[in-house]
Chain A
Amino acid sequence: MTRKEEVLQDVVIKFAGDSGDGMQLTGSQFTNNTALLGIDLATFPDFPAEIRAPQGTLPGVSGYQLRFSSDRVFTPGDECDVLVAMNAAALKSNLGSLKKGGKIIANTDGFDQKNLRLANYPDGVNPLLDDSLSNYEVIKMDVTKMTREALKDITMGVKEKDRAKNMFVLGFLYWMYNRNMDNTTTFIREKFGKKPEIMESNIKVLQAGFNYGDTTETFTTRFKVEKAKMEPGAYRSIMGNQALAYGLIAASQKSGLSLFLGSYPITPASDVLHELSRHKAFGVRTFQAEDEIAAITTAIGASYGGSLGVTTTSGPGMALKAEAMGLAVMLEIPLVICNIQRGGPSTGLPTKTEQSDLLQAYYGRNGECPMPVVAASTPSDCFDAVFEAVRISVEHMTPVIFLSDGYIANGAEPWKFPKSSDLPAIKVEFKKELAADEEKFQPYVRDEKLSRPWAIPGTAGFEHRIGGLEKQNITGNISYDPANHQEMVRIRQEKVDRVADYIPLQQLDSGPETGDILVLGWGSTYGAIKSAVSELQKEGVSVSHAHLRYLRPFPRNLGDVLRNFKKVLVPEINNGQLIKIIRDQFLVDAKGYNKIMGVPITKGEMKEQISTLLQK
């Protein structure tokens, strides 16, 4: 029979199933396969906080959204073209985001009476059997049955066999999008190399899924998405937490400081600990501490000894580390604190994304306790942003907070990775000798950046004591002198403010330099703002976009940038945090758009907000 091949520009697939169905793995495999073809992409994994929420229920649904395109993409897409529903709950909780006319690939076995009941469908109602899905193209397949059939010659328990059913769907999608499956078979061989039965069954089922598409005559069209027009160069796929870990290793190499990570497992930051612990060949020391406080204080100890001390955490951990951050501010030693933000307060929404720790990063410590703050805007940007955080920390002798969030941390995108020789060196000078004009070593004497010398234990003649008590300027001795305290508070603030002389000026991401409206963002809203602004610009709207990496201090020209626009919109996944600081520092009547639902802002929502504010 003849088969058509249809070329598409932009596709959004959502893989949805029970949290034990392997949807994250399926999604990430399809993502890697897509990336290797040079197609641009963005992903959004979305999973429950429970490792195995009650099977078949709505809270137990785990999803992975992938958008791929021959154009550049910056968001995982507002709506899906294809929904893979492994069970009734997965269909019910994701149908709302499926485009009219979109495809549903449904595993019929996941729509039995039990699953329908668990998904809260009324008795006797099965959406696959009534006409409620008539607006969609429904592809029904009994994945469970076909998986078992493919494995009938393998002696394994049914439960074990059923674990491979995500591979059937993956194989089918590979067929549907005309893919070569080599990367996944290699992956399976490496992952299950020591368990030949599991390896074999996964490959068999993957192949069976592919063959099902190939041999079943119902499927007449295969789809293809062409390569995206991206900047020439070598690319790979990267996730945010991975990029963060690589950025830290690169900064360690470029500064010549050995990397010490003190960390306590916490969602969604744990993957940074996992990743860094694999790279001992770079001399990386990872320390899984007994708690969040030990995680940061061990890093302070390592920093004091001349290592690059880093701690990684999420909001609740930041709260616990606050006192130790204050110590690092007083000690004036390098330290990088990475906060992969999640929904709060308290335990909040551990697996959902939010940007609600900006004010905590700014102000969340006792006393006047300023620290530079740097934020990443996309998964691959974690690499550059954390490299900058390290540079500022080391060159300015100050702790620095790096902000990411769950959306960036778990999202993937193509990355035009740098060559190590293209990365700038990070300047580190340990104090080892007195300068000509120095009589004796003074631990709190300062240079033009107002940073103090870093004399590490083991350096003869530079023995000194530092601590959390207020210290006399220059000598570092304990001081309770009122005027000295005021002066030290001023110096510590000025020191952070002067970082602004060592960071780039704020550039516009797109749009005219003056105009009706500027959208000012920070962090993971980048993709949605960029896409919305770009579409509006094509529609002839005068709108510009600036995205902040340096949140404290701000680039020197930020005030001028803001005042060039009649209106400023600050979209945030919080209740309005950056906007408070902007209004405070620049007296600009900025307007906020605040979505606090544990999910990213979509392009559609962003466009609507911009248009609405323009019309006011």
Chain B
Amino acid sequence: MSEVLKTSVPTLTPKDFATDQEVRWCPGCGDYSILAQVQKVMPGLGIPRENIVIISGIGCSSRFPYYMNTYGMHSIHGRATAIASGLKASRPELSVWVVTGDGDGLSIGGNHTMHLLRRNFDINILLFNNQIYGLTKGQYSPTSESKKVTKSTPFGSVDHPFNPLALAMGADATFIARTMDRDPKHLQQLLIRANQHKGASFLEIYQNCNIFNDGAFEIFTEKSSKPDETLFLEQGKPLIFGAQQNKGIKLDGFKPIVIELSEGHSPSDLWIHDERDFYKGQILVRMFEDPRIEGHLPRPFGVFYETDRPTYEDVLNLQIEEVVATKGKGDLDKLLRGNETWTIL
């Protein structure tokens, strides 16, 4: 997003990004925190409000644009990523954000999500993952854990859940990260990182749906379990976690294993996080074990992987410039006349 126009930006406050529309999410919804953090971060990005566009699909999260005083579109189910792609291709100077959910972005709109990532549009995708269909009142989603009992699965879901970050990795996303609604500081940091990245940023945000899937991420967000169940990634730092910061991740061949630092291991034995390491990134996104299973690995949060690749819109527009430079600007009369004409007198 670094090349977005930053000229003559008046000092704005989070309030400048709020609209006069009443926010209508259920009380206690994780979306409130995400909205607050986005509004807090936006003034500091240095982007004029009129150059920011937020596009969403359908679902609870997709009401987001109505509450942001920028340009915005609440579109149709699953297509925000495609609409954003068309906008960014034709208006590369805009700062384009997609707000989507696990159903919108991974189920009905899964196709467009992966193609946006593959093409590497400079767009920030905020995927609110609550592992449930909230707006339709409680059916399982493509990220719901297997065997989940919901309105549409009274005997338990037989679906295997998606691993959204592994999906992004498979689609060659150039920025892959995870954060959570209950950690405002971390969420703010990662919003800033996603915005800084030039290329498609895929930020998965664990978001609690307190009505239909309350506590889905409790194990990662509650003070009592968070230290042992989560692993916060920091560039250049060893993978350490635990209430006493006494546990770490080591690579045993290609397999990440947990070791106790007290048992004669030192931090230098541990996996040192490198966001730019493509191969380690593959392993990191696969650290996605079901926390219900004994001996599971902690769930990583932070920036998993980042790389630089030319963006679609830059290459597209460069191609146009090159053609104009070599062939000259199009001449309509020449086009209509073509190469072979005849005249009737």
Contact residues of A with B, CB < 8 Å? 32, 35-38, 183, 227, 230-238, 246, 249-250, 253, 258, 260, 262, 279-283, 285, 287, 289-291, 293-294, 297-307, 309, 323-324, 326-327, 331, 417-420, 457-469, 477-478
Contacts and interface: CB of A to CB of B under 8 A. Distances in A.
A301 B55 contact: yes
Contacts of A460: 48-50
A514 B101 CA distance: 62
Nearest to A287: B89
A307 B87 CA distance: 9
A234 B336 CA distance: 11
A425 to B, nearest CB: 13
A234 B111 contact: no
B3 interface: no
A301 B75 CA distance: 10
Contacts of B335: 246, 249, 279, 282
B324 interface: yes
A302 B93 CA distance: 13
16 contacts: A36-B340, A234-B341, A236-B340, A280-B324, A281-B329, A282-B330, A289-B82, A297-B76, A305-B94, A306-B91, A309-B86, A457-B87, A458-B91, A463-B70, A465-B71, A478-B66
A301 B84 contact: yes
Contacts of B65: 465, 467
Contacts, number: 202
Contact of A297 (B21, B72, B82, B344): B82
B105 to A, nearest CB: 14
B332 A253 contact: yes
A234 to B, nearest CB: 5
B85 A468 contact: no
Interface string B171-210: 0000000000000000000000000000000000000000
A446 to B, nearest CB: 20
Question: Top 5 A-B pairs ranked by shortest CB distance?
Answer: A301-B86, A467-B74, A298-B86, A282-B330, A301-B87
Nearest to B91: A305
A507 to B, nearest CB: 24
B337 interface: yes
A235 B48 contact: no
Interface stretch (B221-229, B276-284, B287-295, B315-323): B315-323
Contact of B76 (A235, A298, A307, A327): A327
Given A32-B340, A298-B82, A477-B21, A457 B53 contact: yes
A302 B89 contact: yes
A298 B83 CA distance: 5
B178 to A, nearest CB: 25
Contact of A300 (B77, B83, B89, B337): B83
A285 B342 contact: no
Interface residues of B, number: 58
Interface string B42-63: 0000001111010100100000
B91 A281 contact: no
A471 to B, nearest CB: 10
Given A301-B84, A302-B89, A233 B343 contact: yes
B49 A465 contact: no
Interface of B: 19, 21, 48-51, 53, 55, 58, 65-66, 68-77, 79, 82-91, 93-94, 111-112, 115, 316, 319-320, 323-324, 327-330, 332-333, 335-338, 340-345
A297 B111 CA distance: 13
Given A294-B82, A304-B87, A465 B333 contact: no
Given A279-B330, A300-B83, A323-B76, A250 B336 contact: yes
B339 to A, nearest CB: 8
B332 A285 contact: no
A152 B19 CA distance: 80
Given A35-B342, A36-B342, A477-B21, A302 B87 contact: yes
B74 A463 contact: no
Contacts of B58: 468
Given A283-B330, A465-B65, A468-B76, A234 B83 contact: no
Nearest to B321: A280
A233 B89 CA distance: 40
B336 A418 contact: yes
Given A294-B79, A304-B73, A468-B74, 19 more contacts: A36-B340, A183-B340, A231-B344, A232-B344, A234-B342, A235-B341, A235-B342, A235-B343, A260-B89, A282-B335, A302-B90, A324-B76, A419-B336, A420-B333, A458-B93, A461-B50, A462-B50, A466-B74, A467-B73
Contacts of A281: 323-324, 327-330
Given A246-B336, A304-B83, A327 B89 contact: no
A297 B86 contact: yes
Given A419-B333, A457-B50, A467-B65, A294 B85 contact: yes
A260 B338 CA distance: 23
Contacts of A279: 330, 335
Contacts of A32: 340
A233 B111 CA distance: 50
Contact of B340 (A237, A291, A300): A237
A252 to B, nearest CB: 9
Contacts of B330: 249, 253, 279, 281-283
B316 A285 contact: yes
Nearest to A286: B316
B340 A293 contact: no
